[in-house]
A = this chain, B = another copy of it.
Amino acid sequence: MKQEYDQSNILDCPIADVQQIIHGKWAMVVIFYLRDSTLRFGELSRKMPQVTQANLTKELRALEKFGLVHREVYKVVPPKVEYSLTDIGQRFIPVIEALETWAIDYKNTGHVTQ
């Protein structure tokens, strides 16, 4: 039988909490693309062709649930849905920027992913 443990207080380490929110494979990439502008579902989807619509929807729903992304539905035909970062979502941008800096550094020092 699987052992029970309290996922809400994994460690006295704030990083572990973040992991709860940003564990999706495409979570940070979505935030990356939304940082400058509001995007429609199709626009986002075209920027991330490797992600299926189903998975993109799941990721967006997760980010919405955790309050990082706002979903605005327009009652028009054809349907129009726009995604944008919330306030706390915007405050995540410095993390993305630090990550970008590091990624470039990583490549420039001869490291390779995979």
Q: Are B91 and A102 in contact (CB under 8 A)?
A: yes
Q: Are A103 and B15 in contact (CB under 8 A)?
A: yes
Q: Which residues of A in the span 50-99 have a Cβ within 8 Å of any Cβ on B?
A: 50, 66-67, 87-88, 91-92, 94-99
A interface, by DSSP: helix, strand, loop or mixed? helix
Copy number in the complex reads 2
Asked if A111 CB lies within 8 Å of chain B CBs, one says yes
Given contacts A10-B50, A29-B11, A50-B5, A94 and B88 within 8 Å (CB-CB)? no
Asked if A37 CB lies within 8 Å of chain B CBs, one says no
- Digitize A98-114: 1 where CB-to-B-CB distance is under 8 Å, 0 elsewhere: 11111111110101111
Additional A-B contact list (7), CB under 8 Å, known A7-B114, A11-B48, A20-B114: A8-B112, A13-B29, A13-B33, A14-B104, A20-B113, A23-B25, A66-B113
